[in-house]
Amino acid sequence: MAISFNEQQKVFRLDTPHTTYLIGVVDDEGFLGHMYYGPRIPDDDMQYLMRIYEPPYVPSRNNRDRLAFLSVFPTEYSGHGQGDFRESCLQVETAEGCRVCGLTYDSHQIYGGKPALDGLPATYGGAEDCATLELHCRDAALGLEVILYYTAFSRIDAITRSVRIVNHSKQDIRLEAALSACLDLDDRDFDTITLHGSWSIERMLCRNRLGMGKHGVSSLRGISSHQEQPFLALAEHTATQEHGLVYAMHFVYSGNFLAQAEKSEEGQVRMVMGIHPTDFCWTLAPGESFQAPEVVLVCSDTGLDGMTHTFHDLYRKHLVRGPWRDAPRPALINNWEGTYFDFDEEKLLAIAREAAAAGLNLFVMDDGWFGRRDDDNSSLGDWYVDTRKLPGGLAHLAQEINKLGLRFGIWIEPEMVSPDSDLYRAHPDYALQVPGRPATLRRNQLVLDFSRREVRDCVYAQIHASLGSANIAYVKWDMNRALTDAASCCLAAGQQGELFHRYVLGVYELQQRLLDDFPGLLLENCCSGGGRFDPGMLYYSPQIWTSDNTDAIDRLRIQEGTALLYPFSTMGMHVAACPSHTNGRVTPFETRALVALPGCFGYELDLTALSDEDKALIPGQLAAYRRYNPIFRTGDYYRLASFAENGVYDVFMAVTKDKTEAAISYVQVLGNYRSASRHVYPRGLDPARRYLHSVTGEAHSGAAWMQGGILLPRLLGDYQGQLIVLTAEDEHGSI
């Protein structure tokens, strides 16, 4: 089993294929200390790393300096108020107003497999995939039990952590912070790596030196956000894509979060992650428990490549669920940039006929089909068909779409309500708002109070009726604003701090109900594009709309940052209208398709308005998608050159797990008539096998391609691209 306990040494050992994580029980009181996390080692007796054999020593030997001990001890889960002045994972308030807490080891359990987290998304696995350690800790003075969950995966270098807090006292205890993971390390000249952005330019990679004090990212928007990704990595300053030590945390959650690294005057670094303590509280009545979300830990000594491959493999096989987890995704047409709100049934069918003729699989009707939705000022919350546009309803449109050989999908935004809607007129209290204050509108819409079951039930009944009325194979679930005016008329004054978390739990519950009631449904999440692109949402939907920015050149940077953590199988990528509706840029139809090919592929335009020349290219693009997308969807990803860094060109590749094929995507953003061919060095090939170059026809060993490199041709003009496929020959030289 990947987890063991050395009774003599009092050391817990968690092993993945290439890493080891050690936890020690220290002193008679049972302090839980972090000993080691890094490349795999055989030793258990590493207690010296906790510095317990040097001043200030442990309290049983030197209780006069207990404060000094607590201020530097590398604890597994930090409490507040006893002397550890670094970031606290657990902070409470008792009925008497006491806010001090501290945990010691009580007992443990080790077993195969992994438990589900009640009401929360989490990675999963059976006894053949992973093992779990439960560390039961107590604060005897408070009557509080804290269970630390660790799961080590047997074939993937990932460890997950979560926390459950149980009130065994006879009075209420108020949680004011309940983070999910803490990792204390000695500084190794670390950089921090984060993903920043904004709407239409999400997940831009940012790398900075770790200085003194606190450094991190967070969201208080009620969503993981366009601005920050719930991710933080510490990388040795010399670490590269291929080499060096990297520690990473990623939060399986879709709401407010804190991800922080703190460097102390002693040269120690504390890395924490969890629900943001600001605007959070949770009242635990006697006997009640609180489950914190999961954090994924990854340690790689092969640079960012190793970290990325671990996240990709874990999410593909142990987070995404359902019938679409491993399946090729349908090539779709979405009418949004083609028509916006201005459509009727005949207009949609005209586009669908072109889509069917070109060989697409799925037609998606976007915003504007319900209520009286002629623009974005009304009708959210009224999930009944606008018969002015669709006189035969969803059923008739779906039937006509299906007759063409296409599946049918729709857009919804269940979490929002327009003041100009039947739902709001009947139930204005269903929206989040503070009595006596003007409502904070965004896109002329308010947020529904999904912390309330009756609100969720009301909305879901409408959605269920619409989906049940027709043959609908796909749903795009949108969410177009942050949460403000966070007050619920159904929560007591002392519980208003529970609202943000209860809201997220409500979203999860509704998406799970949708999947339970429509088990074959392909659900794609979309939060103004990339505003809730996080591991929590992947538990419910196998793909997420990557960004509302569909410009191919901007997408190079967006998709690079996204691919640092997420496999291409999770990314919605479409060939969009031109000039770009985001920035007015004009790019070749071929390049737009090349940029979209690695992900969940589709078209976001009016096919009836395309030129004959562009229409003629679609069958070939679809053939390339069906032939080569599986390499990107299931293979190992490598970044070879970054447009975000060099400002000129972009190159990445994917290699199948059996190393029989590799696909290289090359986009020349800026042309230069003086430039020679560009030299890049593939990675991940089998050194001993020979690979045939699809463009030049040359064949060389994997070793030669990787060490000698590949020359990328000088293409004429800006925004040009090329796909290169390397195919392994057999021993007879055949493909």
Using the structure block, give the residue that is written with the tokens 């999440």: 525
Cα atoms in the 13 Å half-sphere on the side-chain side of 117: 30
Of the chain, the end-to-end C-alpha distance in Å amounts to 41
The token pair that represents 71 in the structure block: 């201020």
Task: Clarify whether 636 is annotated catalytic.
Answer: no
Amino acid at 428: P
* Secondary structure (DSSP) of 442-468: BTTBEEB-TTSHHHHHHHHHHHHHHHH
Backbone angles phi, psi at 681, to 5 degrees: -120, 105
**Which entry of 478, 534, 606, 614 is annotated as an active-site residue?**
478
**List of E strands, 461-542:** 474-477, 522-525
Q: Which of 84, 305, 548, 650 is catalytic?
A: 548
CB 228 within 8 A of CB 218: yes
Q: In whole angstroms, give the CA distance from residue 304 to residue 565.
A: 10
The DSSP secondary structure of 632-689, one letter per residue, reads HHHSEEEEEE-HHHHSSEEEEEEE-TTSSEEEEEEEESS--TT---EEE---S--TTS
Residues, the chain: 735
Helix (H, G, I), strand (E, B) or coil at 90: strand
Residues 6+ apart with CB under 8 A from 147: 134, 135, 136, 137, 163, 164, 165, 166
| Inter-CA distances, 598 with 120, 234, 514, 565, 685, Å | 30, 28, 28, 15, 19
Distance CA 131, CA 110 (A): 7
**Token pair of 706 as six digits:** 């990787």
Buried residues in 252-262 as b, exposed as e (16+ CB within 10 A): bbbbbbbbbbb
Q: Using the structure block, give the residue that is written with the tokens 């003086």.
A: 674
**Which H or E run includes 694?**
none
User: Of 544, 512, 513, 550, whose CA–CA distance to 530 is shortest?
Assistant: 544
Distances (CA, A) of 614 to 119, 358, 406, 437: 47, 11, 21, 53
Position of tokens 């055989």?
Answer: 42
CA–CA distance, 685 with 726 (Å, rounded to integer): 9
Q: How far apart are CA 457 and CA 74, in angstroms?
A: 46
Peptide bond into 56 cis (omega under 30): yes
Angle at 719 between CA 716 and CA 723, to 5 degrees: 85
Q: Is 478 a catalytic residue?
A: yes
Instruction: Show which residues are catalytic.
Output: 478, 548
